[in-house]
A and B are shown apart, each in its own frame.
Chain A
Amino acid sequence: MSPIHKIEPRDHAHEHGSELSETELRVRALETVLTQKGYVDPAALDRLIETYETKVGPRNGARVVARAWSNPEYLEWLRQDPTAAIAVMGFAGRQSEHMLALENTPQVHNMVVCTLCSCYPWAVLGLPPVWYKSAPYRSRAVVDARGVLREFGLKLPEETEIRVWDSTAEVRYLVVPMRPAGTEGWSEEKLAALVTRDSMIGTGLPKSPAEVS
């Protein structure tokens, strides 16, 4: 099994068509016992998985960013009461109860990490990617942010200040990247297509208009 400092384990047993792994057996045994005892409802488990695989994801956050880019009143609301401004778009609740929007500027680039575990705004961005939960990111984001960004192909000007936010409490962060040039007059929907997940964590930039047209 791959440890936490590498990418998540593939399902080796399945790939080779052989017997189930020890971990698979443990999970299966646990689910069976919990179901027999009436502690979990299997239909609820299916619903939870379906929610995070198909309903909740970074497209939610992209819509928030696109609205902030195109609507000054919304941006001001997002600054004053971010949790409510995000909730009004239908994105609220578990692991997004206390939101804060971090606006990038030409002078300041924001980047989010959870060095202690994997805190991440689920309702706005979905479940975190493996790299976000991994030891390399958690160990280095707070000391070598510029080096980490280079591994994402992002080279910021030397003079740009980097602010790293370590999610140590129940406050969850959404980076609002700078709106790309050449998007004047674009609809919210068209703008949202530019907003990548990584640009809302701070390890990437939005796509350029040329990349989506």
Chain B
Amino acid sequence: MNGAHDMGGVHGFGPVEPEPNEPVFHAPWERRAFAITVAMGATGEWNIDMSRFARENRSPADYLAKSYYELWLAGLEALLAERRLVSAEELAARRALGEPRPVKQILAAHDVDRVLSRGTVAAREPNAPARFKAGDRVRARNMHPSGHTRLPRYVRGRVGTVERVRGCHVFPDSNAAGTGEQPQWLYAVQFASRELWGASGDPKLKVSVDAWEPYLEPA
């Protein structure tokens, strides 16, 4: 979706403010919001692309008004409500009402290290040859899906060069929509700054994105 999360090239946000000796979390509630989000992700009731979409799928004003972990919290609440795991009434009452629906798995304390160190591999065996190879000129499609996509707006319609074929990976657009992994070839595509930003672009800047094959066409 063309949401406020797609920030590349947007003006007006001001300077970057590095924080000396920054703590991992800035408030006790951030710790808990982080942990319940990761733990609920481990239930297998949704995938990472669904959780990204749940965070970005809101009005630009709402997205920009929320802090980072407030977005995580809002995304989690949306996923839990959609799947009827936690209702608004339960949140208001601050207690469980009614019998829980069983979930696929529950993350136990003794499994945390194993689950984290295993991660979730996105690479899949290809079932078709790659359409592009390193050195090919490609154009990022001028596409504007209303659902989840990982093609940033600032490269759409622009011509770049395939730097490297990364392999075949789960396709976020379909995975977020619940229509399956539909693995696609993934490419590192490099764009010259002036192709992206016009004459004012830094001539010594190049920007790469990782783009799935359906995002690209020959140039």
> A interface vs B, CB < 8 Å?
1-11, 14, 21, 23-34, 36-41, 43-49, 51-53, 57, 92-98, 115-118, 123, 126-127, 129-131, 133-146, 148, 151-152, 158-171, 198, 203
A212 to B112, CA, bound (A): 35
Contact with A along B37-57 (1 / 0, CB 8 A): 011100100001000100110
For B76, give the chain A residue with the smallest CB separation.
A30
B49 to chain A minimum Cβ distance, whole angstroms, is: 10
A130 touches B22 (CB 8 A): yes
B36 touches A146 (CB 8 A): no
Which residues on B sit within 8 Å (CB–CB) of A94?
A: 115-120
Which residues on B sit within 8 Å (CB–CB) of A5?
A: 13-14, 64
A166 touches B63 (CB 8 A): no
Q: From DSSP, what is the main secondary structure of chain B's interface residues? A: mixed
A34 to B86, CA, bound (A): 8
Which residues on B sit within 8 Å (CB–CB) of A152?
A: 16, 18
A196 to chain B minimum Cβ distance, whole angstroms, is: 11
With an 8 A cutoff between CB atoms, is B150 at the interface? yes
For B27, give the chain A residue with the smallest CB separation.
A11
Which residues on B sit within 8 Å (CB–CB) of A92?
A: 117, 119
B204 touches A160 (CB 8 A): yes
A52 to B39, CA, bound (A): 14
Chain B interface extent, by class: 35 or more
Partner of B36 from the list A45, A118, A166, A170 (CB cut-off 8 Å) is A45
Contact with A along B2-36 (1 / 0, CB 8 A): 00011111110111111100101111111111111
B34 touches A37 (CB 8 A): no
A169 touches B210 (CB 8 A): yes
With an 8 A cutoff between CB atoms, is B216 at the interface? no
A163 to B73, CA, bound (A): 33
A27 touches B33 (CB 8 A): yes
B73 touches A23 (CB 8 A): yes
* Contact flag A145-B205 (CB < 8 Å), given A4-B71, A5-B14, A136-B16: yes
| Interface hub of A28, A32, A47, A160 (most chain B Cβ within 10 A) | A47
B16 touches A166 (CB 8 A): no
A134 touches B109 (CB 8 A): no
A53 touches B25 (CB 8 A): yes
With an 8 A cutoff between CB atoms, is B144 at the interface? no
For A47, give the chain B residue with the smallest CB separation.
B112
A169 touches B186 (CB 8 A): yes
Which residues on B sit within 8 Å (CB–CB) of A165?
A: 208
Beyond A48-B39, A140-B16, list 6 extra A-B contacts (CB 8 Å): A10-B26, A24-B29, A39-B39, A47-B113, A94-B116, A135-B64
For A109, give the chain B residue with the smallest CB separation.
B204
Which residues on A sit within 8 Å (CB–CB) of B121?
A: 97-98
Which residues on A sit within 8 Å (CB–CB) of B154?
A: 115, 142-143
A11 touches B206 (CB 8 A): no
Which residues on B sit within 8 Å (CB–CB) of A11?
A: 26-29
Q: Report 16 cross-chain contacts, Cβ distance below 8 Å, ordered by A residue.
A: A3-B66, A9-B26, A30-B77, A32-B95, A34-B86, A37-B100, A45-B35, A53-B25, A127-B24, A127-B34, A135-B10, A144-B202, A146-B205, A162-B206, A164-B206, A169-B186
A51 to B112, CA, bound (A): 9
Within 8 A of A (CB), among B89-115: 90-91, 94-96, 100, 103, 106-109, 111-113, 115
| Interface hub of A41, A137, A148, A170 (most chain B Cβ within 10 A) | A170
B91 touches A161 (CB 8 A): no
